[in-house]
């Protein structure tokens, strides 16, 4: 990949981030600053107009980590634009991993999938990459993740304690429910207060 193509990839990412309503202004600023840093460093390391593909590929790999690992409408838009402009970049699909392992790779992808799933389906790009049965399976994986975390939190609430060696699981589940706005769906306000107390007492 030459420098101009990579710079176009960065420009597409910047356009999507700036137009997004789902990121905090500080996050947007940090990502734009990183884009400018990458371009500046590549320009500095390109001597006499020669392009070092090793340098470009190294920066490209690091830059694409965010877009490869995100499960969001913005990620869908990013990869669709690359596809429409016929920019060939291999994508590491979180959804492919989920279908293969019957779970998401980490809690962050699980949270994003739960929170953004309906928007991703409505956007429609996912339909060009996965079959109808695979999309149904992905929804089942998301629902299963939510249910398993709900069952775990309910068990902690009933027992008024966190099981041994399950502290990280508890913390992840609380973060998952908070980010996905699931507490109101599954718990009364006093039950949420009790769950937070259980967490503080464990610390």
Ordered by start, the domain boundaries in the chain are: 3-84, 95-202
When mean pLDDT is compared across 27-41, 52-66, 106-120, the lowest value belongs to 52-66
- Can you give the pLDDT at residue 199? 82
Instruction: Determine the Cα–Cα distance for residues 125 and 111; give it in Å rounded to an integer.
Output: 20
- Can you give the pLDDT at residue 202? 67
194 to 134, 137, 189, 197, 202: CA distances (angstroms): 38, 34, 9, 5, 12
pLDDT reading at 49 higher than 80: no
Radius of gyration of the chain (CA): 20
DSSP labels, the chain = --HHHHHHHHHHHHHHHHH-SSS-HHHHHHHHHHHHHHHHHHHHH--TT---HHHHHHHHHHHHHHHHH--SHHHHHHHHHHHHTT-------HHHHHHHHTS-SSHHHHHHHHHHHHHHHHH-GGGGTS-HHHHHHHHHHHHHHHHHHHHHHHHHHHHTSPPTT-HHHHHHHHHHHHHTT-HHHH--HHHHHHHHHHHHHH-
- Can you give the pLDDT at residue 50? 59
Using pLDDT thresholds of 50, 70 and 90, give the confidence band for residue 128. very high
Rounded to two decimals, what is the model's pTM? 0.87
For residues 194 and 202, the model is more confident at 194
Instruction: Determine the Cα–Cα distance for residues 12 and 6; give it in Å rounded to an integer.
Output: 10
Segment 162-175 mean pLDDT: 90
Segment 156-166 mean pLDDT: 88
- Can you give the pLDDT at residue 177? 96
Segment 42-56 mean pLDDT: 75
Segment 160-170 mean pLDDT: 88
Segment 12-18 mean pLDDT: 95
Give the CA dihedral 124, 126, 130, 136, nearest 10 degrees: -80
- Can you give the pLDDT at residue 152? 96
pLDDT reading at 47 higher than 80: no
Of 158, 93, 154, whose CA–CA distance to 128 is shortest? 93
Segment 167-189 mean pLDDT: 93
For tokens 């207060």, the residue is 193
pLDDT reading at 81 higher than 90: yes
Segment 54-76 mean pLDDT: 92
Segment 132-157 mean pLDDT: 96
Does residue 153 contact residue 173 with C-beta atoms inside 8 Å? yes
Instruction: Determine the Cα–Cα distance for residues 103 and 141; give it in Å rounded to an integer.
Output: 6
- Can you give the pLDDT at residue 48? 59
- Can you give the pLDDT at residue 45? 79
Does residue 55 contact residue 45 with C-beta atoms inside 8 Å? yes
């Amino acid at each position: 990949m030459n420098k101009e193509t990579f710079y176009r990839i960065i420009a597409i990412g910047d356009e999507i981030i700036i137009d997004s309503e789902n990121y905090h202004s500080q996050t947007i600023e940090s990502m734009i600053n990183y884009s400018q840093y990458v371009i500046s460093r590549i320009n500095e390391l390109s001597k006499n107009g020669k392009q070092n593909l090793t340098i470009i590929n190294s920066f490209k790999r690091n830059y694409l980590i965010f877009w490869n690992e995100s499960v969001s409408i913005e990620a869908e838009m990013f990869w669709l634009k690359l596809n429409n402009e016929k920019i060939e970049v291999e994508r590491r699909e979180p959804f492919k991993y989920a279908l293969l392992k019957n779970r998401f790779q980490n809690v962050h992808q699980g949270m994003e999938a739960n929170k953004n799933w309906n928007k991703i389906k409505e956007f429609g790009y996912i339909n060009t990459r996965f079959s109808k049965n695979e999309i149904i399976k992905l929804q089942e994986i998301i629902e299963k993740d939510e249910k398993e975390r709900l069952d775990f939190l309910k068990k902690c609430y009933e027992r008024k304690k966190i099981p041994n060696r399950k502290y990280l699981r508890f913390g992840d589940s609380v973060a998952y429910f908070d980010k996905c706005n699931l507490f109101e769906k599954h718990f009364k306000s006093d039950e949420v207060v009790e769950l937070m107390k259980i967490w503080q007492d464990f610390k």
